[in-house]
Each structure stands twice: as structure tokens, then as C-alpha cells.
Amino acid sequence: MIYKRSSALFAEAQKVIPGGVNSPVRAFKAVGGDPIFVKEAKGAYLYDEDGNSLIDYINSWGPMILGHAHTPVVNAVIEKAKKGTSFGMPTEIETEIAELAVSMVSNIDKIRFVNSGTEACMSAVRLARGFTNRDKIIKFAGCYHGHSDSFLIQAGSGAVTFGSPNSPGVTAGTAKDTLLARYNDLDNVKNIIDSNKGEIACIIIEPVAGNMGCIPPVEGFMEGIRALCDDNDILLIFDEVMTGFRLAKGGAQELLGIKADIVAFGKVIGGGLPVGAFAAREEIMNHLAPLGPVYQAGTLSGNPLAMAAGLAMLKELNDYPEIFDSINKKTQYLHEGISKVLNEKNIVHTINRKGSMISVHFSEEAVVDFESAAKGNNDIFKKFFHGMLAQGIYIAPSAFETWFISEALTYDDLDKTIAAVSIVAEDLF
Ligand code: HOZ
């Protein structure tokens, strides 16, 4: 494939945008080469600036559950835009989407809309601190909750790819209140709680981790976390930015059968527009301004275009719940197909999958936490990424990310992907 125009656009972008991108992972630093500049997308396909078409497994890092430029979502945005794009005043549609979201997720009474997953997680933690009158939080190595200061401590996703899991600019004062735990290691969490009795406001966790590849919780881990929170009056925050409205109508909470105290959403709840949200039972949410003392605000919060896109998206997922089963089956098909091919070619690998999230690790040991994820062979991953790209398949440009399956992918697309793996696998070593 030719990427001449993408490379030219990247060179131009680097003159005026740091690293040529507005979010680091996009720069391809983890895999080498120049990033692909996308021109448009429809359904399961991306069309780049050089005229190449690519089967998309990023899906805007999750939200395109129904595929790109899904007609009801696009139409909802067009119609809304004709009536004004931002008011900084309440609108009816905010209540409409709030009612729908609350009806889909069993344990939330109220929801506040913000503009991104970062904002949602940041605000959820502030609320937890305000509610409990405690300062410390527990987060897990390799989990990524956006780029607000408290979370850039052993963070996953681009933060680890670019060697800044602990970013300069985060003060020691902020960092000291973030306690770091190992994913899937309950004893470790228990020890941290025991050493900080009565000081921990919340545990924030991706209920299925998606920023160190896809790492599902091992049996008993999330149940154990819930029990530890209950026993120690700690609030449990699920970061469902990737999993919310994807793994089930009620997200990972429904799939795992665990109820969090506060849930952070993003991406999906805006149908791909810039939206985040956080939600909880009434008692907790009433601590937010203007009802309570915990402050959070924003002119673009509840923006009409974002609300229209999100509402159109949630309505489809609510009205056609068979979509969840369908994308899960497609993901399983892909998993089995890729496994078969890699096994036939004797390529050491581990595939992690939960629902419609999946990741391929070139590692022989189980990938259950950040440490084991980091043991994957990155040189092989780079070759795999570029090989797949040459075959017209776009996967996340880092081993520390997840592939997201959309309903727009056909079994023919999946077969093409498996066939591409077969070709690429010939040349991996
Ligand atoms: N941190 C995001 C994925 N985990 C990537 C965001 C982006 O580049 O769009």
C-alpha cells in the first residue's frame, strides 16, 4: 500500500502540532513508521488519504459499536446542528438520554454528562473524595483512566508506550495520594488497604482492562474488590469508558454481576462525539453542585450535538440487545480463527478476550496484569502490526491497547482478517 499523502500530511502536522498528533498513541511511535491519516469511514471500513481502504479494529477506541457513520447517529447530529450547536443552557434532550442511560444500567439513579472519559474519571474521583472525606485512591498499574494528574501513576495506554507512566508535571503532592495496586492480585489490594486504614476514598478500576491489551478480571478478583470496599467503607469506581454499553446494556457491571458505587462512561455514550459521564446512586450524586459541595462544571457538558448522537446510539443498543450477542460471537470467531492460524504456524501467543474486546499478545505466559503484558515480544508485535496494515487491516498501533469489534464487521471481513494473519505469520520471525 502507498501512504505518500499520509506521510506528507504528517510532516506538515508536525510543524504545528506536537508530534503531529492530538493524542500520542496515534503517532505510531510504538510500532514505527508514519501514522495513517484517515479521510472518512463507513461501517467497518476506514478510507485513508491515499485511497487505501482498511478494515477497522480500533473503532475510535471503542465507541463505534455499530460501525462508522451509522445512519441514525449521523442523521440525529445533522438535524440537531440545524437548531444550534451549543447554548450553555439546559436542554430537554439531556434528560432524555439521562433517563435512557439510567434505565439501561441497573444501579445508577442519576448521571452527570461531561466531555470526555478523562473528565468523567477525574470528576468521579473528586466526588468519591468529597463523599468520603478521604484523600487517597487506589489505582492499578497498567490501567488508564485518562490523563488527569492523579491517574498518571503507572498508567497504561499511550503513557506506557511513550515511557511516561509517571508523567513529569504531576506533583509529588498529587502522586502521594494515588496508591498503586497489581491488577488481578487481591492480596496486594488488601495489603494496601490494611496499611492505609480509614484513608482510602475509592478504588478506581477498569472492570475489564483495555489499556494494557485486553485483560479480564480473573475469577473472584472483582468480587473480592467489592467485598474489600464494603468492609472498609471505600467507594468502588468502575471506569466503563471502554466497556460501558459495549459488554452488555448495563456494561461490565451487568456482565460480571458486580455493582460499583460510581461508574464513569465515555466515548460510547456520545455515539463517537466528545462525551463522558459519571453516574451513581442518588445519595452520592446529590453531593455534586448545585445540590452539594463537590464542584464540577462545563459549558460544553450536555452539548446538544453530543447528546443527539449519544441518544441515537443508546436507543439502538437498547432496542436491539441482540447486537451484544452478535458482536460477542464475531469476536469469538475471530479469536478462534487467529488462534488456529498462529498455532499452525507455531507462533507463541496468548489471546485475551472478553465480550467484544480482544487482544493478541506475543507471549507464552498468561497475560493477567501489567507485568505480564509488558513481557510480550514487542518486536514481533511491530512486525505483526505493519504486516496486517499491508494486508488492509488496521489494529491498534501498540501492544498496550485493545481491539474493538463492531457490528458492522461481516464474517467475510473476519475471514479476510484471519487470512491476513495467516500471510503475516509466515514472516514474523
Ligand atoms: N488512550 C486512547 C486509547 N486507550 C487513545 C486515544 C486516541 O488516540 O484517540
Give the β-pairing of 235-239 and 200-205. Answer: parallel
Give pLDDT, residue 161: 63
Query: Which residue in 80, 267, 382, 383 is the catalytic one?
Result: 267
Ligand 1 neighbourhood includes 157 CB (under 6 angstroms): yes
Given 177, 239, 261, 369, the catalytic residue: 239
Map residue 242 onto helix, strand or coil.
coil
Say if ligand 1 is within 6 A of residue 158 CB: yes
Please give the distance of CA 50 from its chain centroid, rounded to a whole number. 28
Nearest-atom number in ligand 1 for the CA of 157 is 4
394 classed as catalytic: no
Q: What is the pLDDT of residue 55?
A: 98
Grouping H, G, I as helix, E, B as strand and the rest as coil, residue 183 is coil
Instruction: Look at ligand 1, atom 6, and give the residue with the nearest C-alpha.
Output: 23
Tell me phi and psi for residue 215, to 5 degrees.
Answer: -125, 105
DSSP character at residue 361: E
Closest CA to 359 of 401, 408, 315: 401
Q: CB of 26 closer than 6 A to ligand 1?
A: yes
The Cα 288–Cα 355 span in angstroms is 33
Q: Which atom of ligand 1 is nearest to the CA of 26?
A: 8
Closest residue to atom 8 of ligand 1, CA basis: 23
If phi > 0 it is left, if psi is from -120 to 50 it is alpha, else beta; for residue 39 that is: alpha
| Residue 349, ligand 1, Cβ within 6 A | no
Cβ-based burial of 197 (10 A; exposed 0-12, middle 13-18, buried ≥19): exposed
What distance in angstroms lies between residue 195's CA and the mean position of ligand 1's atoms?
34
pLDDT at residue 375 tops 90: yes
Residues 6+ away with beta carbon under 8 Å from 173:
none
Catalytic residue (choose from 3, 45, 57, 144):
144
Is residue 248's pLDDT more than 70?
Answer: yes
Q: What is the residue whose three cell numbers read 440525529?
A: 76
Long-range residue pairs from 96-102, CB within 8 A, at least 24 positions apart, any chain: 96/307, 96/311, 97/269, 97/307, 97/310, 97/311, 97/314, 100/311, 100/314, 100/315, 100/318, 101/265, 101/269, 101/277, 101/279, 101/314, 102/279
157, 215, 241, 400, best to mutate for ligand 1 pocket (most atoms within 8 Å of CB): 157
Report, as an integer, the average pLDDT of 266-272. 90
| Residue 2: predicted pLDDT | 84
Instruction: Judge contact between 63 and 267, C-beta under 8 A.
Output: yes
pLDDT band at 163 (very low <50, low <70, confident <90, very high): low
Hey, CA dihedral for 87, 90, 91, 96, is it positive or negative? positive
Does the annotation count 190 as an active-site position? no
What integer pLDDT is reported at residue 66 of this predicted model?
A: 97
Task: Determine the pLDDT at residue 160.
Answer: 66
Q: How far apart are CA 413 and CA 429, in angstroms?
A: 26
Q: Which residue has the higher pLDDT, 429 or 253?
A: 253
| Chain mean pLDDT for the chain | 95
Q: How far is the CA of 141 from the centre of ligand 1 (A)?
A: 17
Is the distance from the beta carbon of residue 401 to the nearest atom of ligand 1 less than 6 Å?
yes
Q: Is 267 a catalytic residue?
A: yes
Assign 51 to helix, strand or coil.
coil
Q: What is the pLDDT of residue 148?
A: 93
Q: Which residue has the cell 498468561?
A: 366
Question: Which residue has the least CA distance to atom 9 on ligand 1?
Answer: 23
